[in-house]
Amino acid sequence: MIPDRLREVAADVFDLPPEAVPDDAAAGKLEAWTSLRHLQLMTAVESEFGVRLSTEEMLSLQSLPQIAECLARRGVAT
Amino acid sequence: MPADVSWCRPEQLPDVMRLIDAAWKRGHVLSRDVELLQWQYPRRADGTLSLLVLNDDAEGPVGLLGAIPIDFNLRGRSLPGAMLALWFVRPGYADGSAGLRLLQRLMAEVNGFVGVLGIRESALPLYRALRFHVVPRVERWVRSFDADGLRALLSERPDVYPPDVVNRWTQPHAAVGLPSADFEIVDWNASLAEAWDDAWRRHFAPGVVGPARSAAYLTWRYVEHPRFRYVVRAAVDRRTAAPTGLVVYRPAEIRDRPQRVLRIVELLARPGADAALAGELARVGRLERAAYADFYCTSAKVAEPLVRAGFECERADEPALPALLQPLDFGRATLNGAFYLSPEHAVGDPFSGDDVYFTRSDGDQDRPS
């Protein structure tokens, strides 16, 4: 189960209703998840959760569960 | 099932060339010229080409990311690096983020410098988002050596070049480029390689951020280019017999026009040799009757000897002289770039100083079309 705040951020970036963003949303699985939207998502995550992702993280975080895990590892409240 | 990313195997080349033609640009030179393609993306140790391929189980190759390997020089430190050239995924491919997976694979493997020149406007936000150092405009120094030829060329497009601009570019220059008694200008040859590498390491590398201009690099990039005839000339100090500078240029034809352009792609020189080499370029420009000569370079400091030899930096608020010649294109002259160095190697922003040295020949911005 991904955190609601993260789902809402993703829904906003992908221009979808939150309920249309599945728990396992990932690049390559969600049609709206394009390269540009991916980077917009990373920027939105940084802004919403007050973190700074490295370029390598931006490229390697390929799904919402991975993003949630990354935030949890950093102790970010989601 | 996501597509797989792997380095291009030689037997994939026909499929890769068909993909370039179908999905990138119809008739693109790299879809026609396998020798050029193999030169630009040299073989890696395992025999694959330095070209990442996105392979779909059902469709075969659907995306590419070319990675021209370079030895990146960070003020004397040698780091792994690559210049990106040719990055695309077939339009309409189901996985809209597959292009980023190509870049992720490359950056993870290089773990050093990644750079690109000549970025499409639509892709610039992507590099910015990834925290590349974006250079919106690589400066270009220009000088005419055949005023009548240049005037004839520019008069084809009075809508682009108003009379005052034409007059400015075609005004006579004072004579420059007298031979220097202290330096001999010689053609590059293999016997110079060791002395050049020594000069590069001792005198140039400590003050340069950019691809290393070693003898091996110069040989691959210019001497062994499969299609262009570059001229590589060195300034040799007559007293010490040591190379103290180097220029690389090529006289370029303009399709369907009699005029020529002298495209300068390297200028590295120690004090003294810089004037001699700038003078040599002026001599060649006159000899070739070049409508104009140009030099794209990220470092204004490097271009200073050219300014003393009558070159001017193009102004951003004026129409630029044509940059693409085959065919002649009056509209696309601005060259941009983006550079990235892994944080473990970078201290501060390594790309903000005037010692950052990239020219138009880095990446694939000086190649046949």
The interface pTM score, or ipTM, of the predicted complex is: 0.84
Q: Does A18 score more than 80 pLDDT?
A: yes
| H or E, element range at B264 | strand B260-269
> Nearest to residue B367, comparing CAs of B32, B40, B21, B35?
B40
Contact criterion met (CB < 8 Å) for B101 and A60: no
Contact criterion met (CB < 8 Å) for B131 and A55: yes
Note the pLDDT of residue B356: 98
Note the pLDDT of residue B213: 98
SS3 B153: helix
Using the Cβ of A77 and the Cβ atoms of chain B, whether some distance falls under 8 Å is answered with: no
Note the pLDDT of residue B40: 98
Note the pLDDT of residue B96: 85
Query: A27-54, pLDDT tens digit by residue?
Result: 989 999 998 899 999 999 999 999 999 9
Note the pLDDT of residue B179: 66
Note the pLDDT of residue B177: 58
Contact criterion met (CB < 8 Å) for B99 and A59: no
Partner B, chain A 12-51, Cβ-Cβ below 8 Å:
27-28, 31-40, 42-43
- Taking CA–CA distances from B125, the nearest residue in chain A reads A36
CB B119 within 8 A of CB B338: yes
Using the Cβ of B340 and the Cβ atoms of chain A, whether some distance falls under 8 Å is answered with: yes
% of chain A with per-residue pLDDT over 90: 87
Mark residue B96 as left, alpha or beta (left: phi above 0; alpha: psi -120 to 50; beta: remaining).
alpha
Note the pLDDT of residue B368: 93
Contact criterion met (CB < 8 Å) for A60 and B129: no
Note the pLDDT of residue B92: 87
At position B28, the amino acid (one-letter code) is H
Note the pLDDT of residue B112: 96
Contact criterion met (CB < 8 Å) for B100 and A42: no
- Mean pLDDT (whole number) for A55-72: 95
Q: How many CA atoms lie within 13 A of B176 on its CB side?
A: 22
DSSP summary character for residue B91: T
With a cut of 70, which residues of chain B have pLDDT below it?
A: 1-2, 174-179
Q: List the single residue in A36, A37, A54 with the smallest CB-CB distance to B343.
A: A54
Question: Distance from A49 to chain B by nearest Cα, in Å?
Answer: 17
Q: Which residue carries 């409240």 as its tokens?
A: A77
How is B345-360 classified by DSSP, letter by letter?
Answer: T-SS-TTSSTTB--BT
Note the pLDDT of residue B323: 92
- Mutation target among B57, B100, B132 for the A interface, most CBs of A within 10 A: B100
What is the C-alpha to C-alpha distance for residues B277 and B305, in angstroms, rounded to an integer? 8
Contact criterion met (CB < 8 Å) for A27 and B94: no
CA B186 to each of CA B189, B220, B245, B305: distance values in angstroms, whole numbers, following the listed order: 9, 19, 11, 19
CA A58 to centroid of chain Cα atoms: 10
